């Protein structure tokens, strides 16, 4: 916890500093949501095809989903999503494409379990 998934248009890959973004996001999760640094896990999933409206080209989409154990206030979740959107803007170079960046924080289901080795 937190479980972080970043879905993004593959066309953004050259402009997206994923490592820098993940490092900054983990720090924000620690500061804002009281996460432990070693518990922050981020996966990046590029999407080969992105369509916005009827536009096939010229758009990049990034959506970040953060799963946290229940108990954070709505204010905390909102602060974290605001930080995520700001960090995306800082870690994705302006390559001339329209950028559509969004984030959400959700509570992990009570059935959540994990194993580590």
pLDDT of the residue at 56: 81
In whole angstroms, how far apart are CA 77 and each of 48, 60, 109?
Answer: 30, 25, 16
Report yes or no on 117 lying in a domain.
no
Report yes or no on 115 lying in a domain.
no
Q: State the total domains in the chain.
A: 1
- Domain at 90, CATH number: 3.30.429.10
Report yes or no on 83 lying in a domain.
yes
If we measure between CA atoms, which residue out of 62, 70, 66, 63 comes closest to residue 29?
Answer: 66
12, pLDDT greater than 90: yes
pLDDT tens for each residue of 26-39: 999 999 999 999 99
pLDDT of the residue at 62: 98
Using a 10 angstrom Cβ sphere, with 0-12 exposed, 13-18 middle and 19 or more buried, the burial of residue 76 is middle
How many alpha carbons lie under 13 Å from residue 13 in its C-beta half-sphere? Answer: 8
Residue 13 lies in domain: 3-107
Type and span of the H or E element at 107: strand 98-107
């Amino acid at each position: 916890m937190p479980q972080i998934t970043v879905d993004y248009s593959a066309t953004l890959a050259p402009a997206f500093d994923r490592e820098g973004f993940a490092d900054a996001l983990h720090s924000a999760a620690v500061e804002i949501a009281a996460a432990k640094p070693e518990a922050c896990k981020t996966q990046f999933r590029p999407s080969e095809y992105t369509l916005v409206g009827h536009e096939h080209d010229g758009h990049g989409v990034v959506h970040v989903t953060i799963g946290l154990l229940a108990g954070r206030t709505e204010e905390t979740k909102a602060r974290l999503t605001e930080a995520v959107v700001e960090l995306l803007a800082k870690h994705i170079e302006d390559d001339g494409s329209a950028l559509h960046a969004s984030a959400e924080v959700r509570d992990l289901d009570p059935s959540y379990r994990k194993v580590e080795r």
